[in-house]
Structure 1
Amino acid sequence: MFPLILLYVFLTIVRPQEYIPALIGLPVLPVVLVLAFAAWIASGARRPHAPQFLILLAFFGVLMLSEVANGWVGGVKDQLGKFGPVVLIFFMIASACTTQPRIRTLMAVMVMCSTLLAIHGIGQHRTGIGWTGIPLAEDGRIRYAGIFDDPNDLGMLFVSVFPMGCLLFKRAGFIGKPFWLVCILTVLYGVYLTNSRGAMLGVLVVIGAYIWYRRGMVVAAILGAAGLAVMKMLSSRMQELDAGEESASGRVDAWYEGLQMFKSHPLFGVGPGNFTDYNPLTAHNSFVLVLAETGFVGYVLWLALIGYTFWMVATVLRQKPDAITEPERYAAWSEERPMALTLLLSLCGMFACAFFLSRSYMIVLYVVLAIVTGFYVGARERIDSLPSFSMTESGMRWIPAAIGSIAGLFVLVSILLRTEG
């Protein structure tokens, strides 16, 4: 099963079926997914205990129910085809990747695939067209095939694997270190070539979060301000980081329209994929998109899915046993801590990007969430002091969290709209 999962992730990122003539039109991804799922069922693997499994299934149900509530019964079949594979790969990764070696192997595949995409972008930047036959975007930014056709999506992928590459570099031997260092630098150069403001801010968030963890908030804030100034010098689009700038203004207007959609369809939203039926520009914010398209019910579930995932890695980092009185637990924690920190940084960078992109249903996001879920399930087996998470015990907290975050979005948009004027 695990090799098939790796193959599916490779095909999802590199996507040779999008540009190799012999593969175009063939159901390569669905076939590999079905084979992986069949192998998972045949292995008799049980679903580990984690609230994300139930939450994701419930969110999947809300996506279909939202379609029906908005008058399209055929939307149930549509969501089965669109989001069904996301649910399956989440379950398989979270169930199979509970050990450190497997997680590092999956990370290695993701980093190497992302490096390949960055190399494609470098060639595309030099010649105007990549080996996929895809040219640069109209504004000269690099892009790739399929789900990475948008430079912002490509940048989000690069940001999410950046911390993973750093972990692999740290753990590598004398020969491996140069390889992973080249991968890291290539991916970062790829972020620069996407010229994505969200991705550049995501890199800054990753580095800032790491410094915060190591050196404290004050040092992180000072270095973060310096880093932002450097990015503004390197990127012309970062110099336009202002609510009154045309692109940013359009995003704020889209956020406003998304909140209006929520007000008119508060329970189940306007339906997944229907945002642009009400506004010509997509939401450019994954939180606003979920709120507008799935309503309060879907938003609470999506927020809980994300919240539990952050909570898990933060719990591992906070659980620091005493090295003298609990030597065995301290040794186990010392082994798990680097992985937990890496996954936390990956989540921070990815959702910093997601705040400026409409990628609420993008498969890469759920792959990372699945890795974190599987990691925590395995960490609990290796560190018996780690708590379990249950919807019956802590599920209700996400309702006030959702209400508070929605109120925050309304306040933020109100302030930004006044800034525009």
Structure 2
Amino acid sequence: MTSTCIHEPRIAASGWQDSLRSGIWPRSVVLWMTVFWLALFIIRPGEMLFPKLAEWHAERLWAIATISAVMAFGMLRLCPSLQTYAVLLFLAALTLSSICSLDGSAAWVELYKYIVLVVSYFVLLSAIRTPYQLVFVVTCYVAITAAYLGKSEYEYFVHGAGAYMMGVKRLIGLDTDYGHPNAVAASSVLALPLVHFLWDARQYFTRTWPQIWRCLFPPALVAFVLLAIPAIVLTNSRSGMLGFVVFVFLTAVSRKTHRARIVGLVCMGLLLVAVWAAMPQDSKDRLRTLWDPSAGPSNAHESAMGRIEGMMAGLMMFERFPVTGVGIGNFIPYRVANVDGVPLDPHNLLGEMLGETGVLGTGAFLLVLAAMMVNCRRTAALAKQGSDADQQMLSRLTEACVHTVLLLLFFGLFSHNLLRFNWLWLAAFALHCRMFSEQICLASQESSDMCVHQHDRHMRSDGA
């Protein structure tokens, strides 16, 4: 049976702690299958860790099993909303771009990746049924990212794994899609707003947990930060280092009072000074190349200029194919044959969007972002109207989603991250926040109306 997310106030109004084993573990089989799929999606063990799994198509088989479980348990939810329509519209734009592309086979590879992302978006909408489950999935995402970073750093320190690029050794990841040093640094930074949210929510979220788990949760969040900061430094990613600075700034200025913002800026400034003092000299020199080309090899400056050239190449493609672009996955072939002969990706979001998807894809993608912002603002507005603890927590989660989107856009200045999984997963989180907040508000109004009705009935009875 398919649900459309309408008239379901009692699902969310039942509270955070619903059907939990030992007060902590959700009992939903579909939810656990979804979490494991997210783990396979991020870690991708079949690419480098266990190549044999690639022969068995383990990730694809598990995805099919998860989708089948969603259908079998009657949990599929379409959730018609501006957010969902925008996601489907972007899919339609990418499909049209692929049909009109110069190389259909190259376009299909990228289109298939996005189709999988859209499926994961609907699975997240279907599997998560309560605010507690939503925050639990966010926690699992952070834990999965921690496992990814921990294994990457273990290979770096113990087995000497890494890649020599731009004159320095750089930490790499466990897969090919997101294993590049810049992508690893981005993954580290993009998880930090959610870690900050979990830190703020730790007492409320873990209030029914067993004592041992409740005590371990804060140190685990601190441990993630202690994994993420070295990962950012060891990748020697200039965009990652700058992204961390942006995260620190967003965290400081998002405080509620003027005094808290000043204190936050001072504390975060001290943190940046401490990180800078602890950084190896190679990493400091790598960052200095942003304003002093002589601090590193010449190819470091050429890499920075290459992003500008990539954006210009994308704008040239957009000028020639303004409606659909040259097609996703076709940037390099078209650039080599018809632009400047450079066999490189655009390395920036704007060039990728306009060059590969044209005005249709760009407009649809911007609609995805706009819908996300609308959901976040609506959740925040509902939280301001009432004092419900669940709504306050959901509002904080949407703030973390907004910060993550801003970081994604910042990284888009230096990387082609149009099809990165974070966009749609954040969209699902934000839509859940709005739906749960509205359902809680509706349930509260129904309860209030019932109390008023009972009071009036008692008054009439007393008068009689």
Asked if Structure 1 and Structure 2 have the same fold, meaning a TM-score greater than 0.5 normalized by the shorter chain, the answer is: yes
Q: In the alignment, does 2:101 pair up with 1:70?
A: yes
C-alpha displacement at 1:71, in angstroms?
Answer: 4.5
Q: What residue number does 1:241 align with?
A: 290
Q: What residue number does 1:341 align with?
A: 399
Structure-2-length-normalised TM-score? 0.73
- CA deviation profile, 1:15-36 (whole Å, cap 9, x unmatched): 2222225424221111111111
Conservation of the 8 A alpha-carbon contact between 2:382 and 2:438: no
Q: What residue number does 2:73 align with?
A: 43
Q: In the alignment, does 2:126 pair up with 1:126?
A: no
Q: Secondary structure at the match of 1:16?
A: coil
| Separation of aligned partners in 2, 1:127 and 1:252 | 37
Q: What residue number does 1:298 align with?
A: 361
- CA deviation profile, 1:337-389 (whole Å, cap 9, x unmatched): 2222222222222332233211111224322332222232222212349xxxx
Alignment match of 2:350 (pick from 278, 282, 287): 287
> Which structure 2 residues correspond to residues 93-242 of structure 1 after superposition, within 5 A?
93-97=124-128, 99-127=130-158, 129-130=160-161, 135-138=162-165, 139-144=168-173, 145-170=175-200, 171=202, 172=206, 173-214=214-255, 215=257, 219=262, 234=279, 235-242=284-291
Q: Secondary structure at the match of 2:183?
A: helix
| Separation of aligned partners in 2, 1:179 and 1:78 | 37
| Separation of aligned partners in 2, 1:368 and 1:243 | 36
Conservation of the 8 A alpha-carbon contact between 1:243 and 1:252: no
| Separation of aligned partners in 2, 1:254 and 1:4 | 40
Q: Secondary structure at the match of 1:140?
A: strand
Q: What residue number does 2:39 align with?
A: 10
Q: What residue number does 1:91 align with?
A: 122
Structure-1-length-normalised TM-score? 0.80
Specify the code of the residue in structure 2 equivalent to 1:34.
I
Structure 1 residues 149 and 320: CA distance shift in structure 2, 3 A: closer
C-alpha displacement at 1:106, in angstroms?
Answer: 1.6
Q: Which runs of 5+ in 1 are unaligned?
A: 386-421
Structure 1 residues 120 and 78: CA distance shift in structure 2, 3 A: closer
| Greater alpha carbon shift after TM alignment, 338-347 vs 82-91 | 338-347
Q: Which runs of 5+ in 2 are unaligned?
A: 1-29, 207-213, 294-300, 336-341, 444-464
Structure 1 residues 127 and 260: CA distance shift in structure 2, 3 A: same
C-alpha displacement at 1:330, in angstroms?
Answer: 4.8
Structure 1 residues 77 and 191: CA distance shift in structure 2, 3 A: closer
Structure 1 residues 383 and 193: CA distance shift in structure 2, 3 A: farther
Q: What residue number does 2:61 align with?
A: 31
Conservation of the 8 A alpha-carbon contact between 1:99 and 1:375: no
- CA deviation profile, 1:165-206 (whole Å, cap 9, x unmatched): 233334153232112211222122212222222222222222
| Separation of aligned partners in 2, 1:318 and 1:203 | 29
| Greater alpha carbon shift after TM alignment, 228-237 vs 92-101 | 228-237
Structure 1 residues 335 and 365: CA distance shift in structure 2, 3 A: closer
Specify the code of the residue in structure 2 equivalent to 1:313.
C
Q: What residue number does 1:403 align with?
A: none
Conservation of the 8 A alpha-carbon contact between 2:109 and 2:329: no
| Greater alpha carbon shift after TM alignment, 153-162 vs 242-251 | 242-251
Structure 1 residues 200 and 287: CA distance shift in structure 2, 3 A: same
Q: Secondary structure at the match of 2:317?
A: helix
- Number of aligned residues: 376
Structure 1 residues 276 and 223: CA distance shift in structure 2, 3 A: farther
Q: What residue number does 1:394 align with?
A: none
| Separation of aligned partners in 2, 1:94 and 1:168 | 21
C-alpha displacement at 1:76, in angstroms?
Answer: 7.1
| Separation of aligned partners in 2, 1:246 and 1:21 | 35
C-alpha displacement at 1:142, in angstroms?
Answer: 0.7
- CA deviation profile, 1:309-350 (whole Å, cap 9, x unmatched): 13322332344535xxx5xx5545323222222222222223
| Separation of aligned partners in 2, 1:198 and 1:355 | 9
Conservation of the 8 A alpha-carbon contact between 1:67 and 1:73: yes
Alignment match of 1:268 (pick from 302, 324, 327): 324
| Separation of aligned partners in 2, 1:26 and 1:190 | 31
Q: In the alignment, does 2:306 pair up with 1:250?
A: yes
| Greater alpha carbon shift after TM alignment, 233-242 vs 71-80 | 71-80
Specify the code of the residue in structure 2 equivalent to 1:14.
I
Conservation of the 8 A alpha-carbon contact between 1:284 and 1:357: yes
